[in-house]
Amino acid sequence: MSHHDENPRGAAAASDPPGKAGSAAAPAASNGDRRPAGAAIRTQCQSEHDREVPEVDLMSPLALRGVTLRNRIAMSPMCMYSAHDGFADDFHLVHLGSRAVGGAGLVVVEATAITAEGRISPGDTGIWKDEHIEPLARIARFVERQGAVPGIQLAHAGRKASCDAPWKGGGSLKTAAAGGWPVVGPSPLPFYAGDPVPVPLSETDIEAYVEAWGAAARRALAAGFKVIELHAAHGYLMHEFLSPLSNHRTDGYGGSLENRMRFPLEVARRLREAIPPELPLFVRISATDWADGGWDVEQSIILCRELKSLGVDLVDVSSGGTAPDARIPVARGYQVPFARRIREEAHIRTGGVGLITDPQYADEIITSGQADLVFIGRELLREPYWALKAQQALGMEPEWPIQYGYAVKRRAR
């Protein structure tokens, strides 16, 4: 397993919590009129006996607090390792902007470091100083003007920080001379034997990090992002505290499940305080370490109940990233069952992610109530217009950007 997020074994997943269909989160606004004759049509007055008619599908809007996504397709956060001193630039604008033009409902900016040493690589985007705000604001403005909702993932890589870009091998940058920096974590346990030993955070450090997350959220809001996602997955700092494999502490932040959850819950609480009530907060988790004695779905369900009580709106359900030797049964939608269980048992909206490439399958995840949102990663790298093409594949007229629509609708015969 690499240090990096892009490994499919470090992948993630999200829809309306059970029993909430027809609520604000599942607006009655039907797009049935865009469906071909014979396709499922939603009605305003569903009763128990006609449950086979889906009330929401992939193209249904999703209302979260005061924000409405135009459909259930999210661009999953993906590091591009192309920033300089944390600054996003034209590449990020065009990269993210083209997925907004391409019809996604939510476009999430890659893992963006809350402190300089929280970057996975020197090329990660950052949000640790006010100067980072303006280039991010340009992205948020453009994404929003295209009808998508701009989101950003706030991250700290913990012991998996200080690595090279994947196309340079992705290995740990072990010394300052190599361009690396000291890494931190819950305990002095490196990810790979031979990686630099993380410096364990003191309780005072933890307090400072909680504040750093709060300051990062303030900057993200100033940049105009409407959805903030806390990265608590893939073996990075938050996940390192959750997992008994990486957290061997004996103080109030280690040992029992309650103690291991303490820091991530403090951060979630701080973020919720910083974010106005009309904007949603997401948390990405790894539902399991896929390793004996590690973090697992039962602990995830307990964590997600706590997150819900703190006002988290959606859990983006990924897996893996803590145990380098984990054996992960990677296959189409392999993490979606975790999103379904968490949705059902923690009664929180979830996002499904991981090898979701086919529009019909993505639609089925939503219509069958396994998740409220699908996060698409690599397939959106392959095809920025995936969401528009999905509309076509599902028998709808694509909602082209206004600049294109009048021109492309008529084809030569």
Ligand X SMILES: Cc1cc2nc3c(=O)[nH]c(=O)nc-3n(C[C@H](O)[C@H](O)[C@H](O)COP(=O)(O)O)c2cc1C
Q: Which of 171, 192, 168 is nearest to 180 (CA)?
A: 171
Nearer to ligand X (CB atom), residue 234 or residue 343 = 234
Please state the closest distance from residue 5 (CB atom) to ligand X, in A: 3
Task: Report which of 239, 281, 50, 27 is spatially closest to residue 153, judged by C-alpha positions.
Answer: 281
Cα–Cα distance between 195 and 122 in angstroms, integer? 17
256 CB-near residues (< 8 Å, 6+ apart) = none
In the numeric block, which tokens belong to residue 368? 């069958």
Residue placing its CB nearer to ligand X in the complex, 9 or 42: 9
CB atoms within 10 A of CB 193: 7
CA distance 310 to 81: 32
Q: How far apart are CB 284 and ligand X at their closest, in Å?
A: 5
Give the C-alpha separation, 50 to 344, whole Å: 21
- Cα–Cα distance for residue pair 161/122, rounded to 1 Å: 9
Please, what is the minimum distance in Å from the beta carbon of residue 108 to ligand X?
A: 8
Q: Is 7 left (phi over 0), alpha (psi -120 to 50) or beta?
A: beta
Q: Which of 81, 192, 209, 236 is catalytic?
A: 236
**Angle, CA 141 vertex, CA 139 and CA 146 arms, to 5°:** 95
Q: Can you tell me the distance from the alpha carbon of 305 to that of 337, in angstroms, rounded to the nearest whole number?
A: 17
The binding site for ligand X (CB under 6 A) comprises 5-6, 8, 11-12, 76-79, 110-111, 153, 231, 233-234, 284, 318, 353-356, 376-379
SS (H, E, C) 50-68: HCCCCCCCCCCCEEECCEE
Q: How far apart are CA 354 and CA 78, in angstroms?
A: 13
Element (H, E) at 185: strand 184-185
What whole-number distance in Å separates Cα of residue 206 and Cα of residue 200?
10
What is the Cβ-side half-sphere exposure of residue 271, based on CA atoms within 13 angstroms?
32
**Cβ of residue 167: shortest distance to ligand X, in angstroms?**
10
* Residue 285 zone, left/alpha/beta (φ > 0; ψ -120 to 50; rest): beta
Report CA-CA distances (Å) from 74 to 174, 278, 372: 35, 19, 11
Closer Cβ to ligand X, 196 or 354, answer by number? 354
Tally of residues, the chain: 413
Is 406 tagged catalytic?
no
Q: Which residue is nearest to ligand X (CB)?
A: 377
Shortest gap between Cβ of 352 and ligand X (angstroms)? 10
CB of 54 to ligand X, least distance (A): 23
State the nearest-atom distance from the C-beta of 12 to ligand X, in Å.
4
Q: How far is the CB of 359 from ligand X (least distance, A)?
A: 13
Q: Give the pair of three-digit tokens for residue 330.
A: 């990677």
Token duo for residue 131: 């100067």
Other CB atoms within a 10 A radius of the CB of residue 22 amount to 16
Indicate which residues carry an active-site annotation: 236
